[in-house]
Amino acid sequence: MEHQALLENYLKQLHLSSFIDNYQAYAADAARTDLPYERFLLALCAAEVAQRDALRVERAIAFAKFPVLKELATFDFTAVQNIPKQRVLELAQGGYMAQKETIILIGNPGLGKTHLATGLAVAACKQGKRVRFFSSTNLVNDLLSAQKDLRLSKFMAQIGKMDLVVLDEMGFIPFTKDGGQLLFQLCSELNERVSIIVTTNLRFAEWNQVFGDEKMTGALLDRLTHRASILEFVGESYRFRQRLLQEDAEHVGGETEAS
């Protein structure tokens, strides 16, 4: 009993919390099955490493501040045209981050752009990447208040430390001239240093409307599209389609009942 207390005390000091959780059960198993001592130790270490990995991913996901957690696994690729599953799964492996490439998801609202962007970003978190998700409107507001408080360069430097930044819904709300300029400045700073995933409902020709300034828009697009995977979503709103399908099913159900 004394040994046990001492052992648990040591394990606590060494921050081996899953050892504490597991050692008794694993030791009993090892004794019962005549497992060599090394295998017992290996099993304890494997469980500790797995637990730490899981915690790291959990923290990375919390840090990224996704508005809604979505995984690629729950994305229905049959619901959208011209978004090849294979291509997306390839992107999810994260090679684009090593190359500091951009991913641009374009299309009408409700087609799953934010879902897919979040899924890719969650995959990056699982790979140990530093990820931050921003609604573009909120980000521009944050940039403006950072500028006002004279901490713009610090704020930008923090974002510059990420491996991946998601700029969600670029173009939904037009920016003020100052706001557009700050976003442009940030994108220039991140260019070829941090990967960016942009979701937008705007075709490139319409980006002027959001940034106001033609030259700046041109330069921004030049930076963002320089090395980019562009996925264009075509189709009908997913939720709308689901609702129609549901109504159809109910309708058919109703008819069968009546007959």
Query: What x-and-dash track marks residues 161-200 binding ligand ADP by CB under 6 A?
Result: --------------------------------------x-
| 114 touches Mg ion (CB under 5 A) | yes
Nearest residue to ligand ADP by CB is 112
Distances (CA, A) of 6 to 11, 12, 13, 62: 9, 10, 11, 35
- Tell me the backbone φ, ψ of residue 244, rounded to 5 degrees: -60, -45
Contact stretch for Mg ion (CB under 5 A) within 26-34, 109-117, 124-132, 225-233: 109-117
Distances (CA, A) of 232 to 84, 124, 126, 222: 10, 21, 26, 18
Chosen from Mg ion, ligand ADP, none, partner binding at 20 (C-beta under 5 to 8 Å by type): none
Distances (CA, A) of 173 to 2, 13, 42, 209, 210: 66, 52, 55, 10, 7
- Tell me the backbone φ, ψ of residue 227, rounded to 5 degrees: -130, 90
Chosen from ligand ADP, Mg ion, none, partner binding at 70 (C-beta under 5 to 8 Å by type): ligand ADP
Tell me if 103 sits within 8 A of 91, measured CB to CB. Answer: yes
Angle subtended at Cα 66 by Cα 48 and Cα 184, rounded to the nearest 5 degrees: 125
| 111 touches ligand ADP (CB under 6 A) | yes
Nearest residue to Mg ion by CB is 114
Chosen from ligand ADP, Mg ion, none, partner binding at 159 (C-beta under 5 to 8 Å by type): none
Contact stretch for ligand ADP (CB under 6 A) within 42-50, 105-113, 152-160, 190-198: 105-113
The contact set with ligand ADP (CB under 6 A) reads 70, 74-76, 79-80, 109-115, 199, 238-239
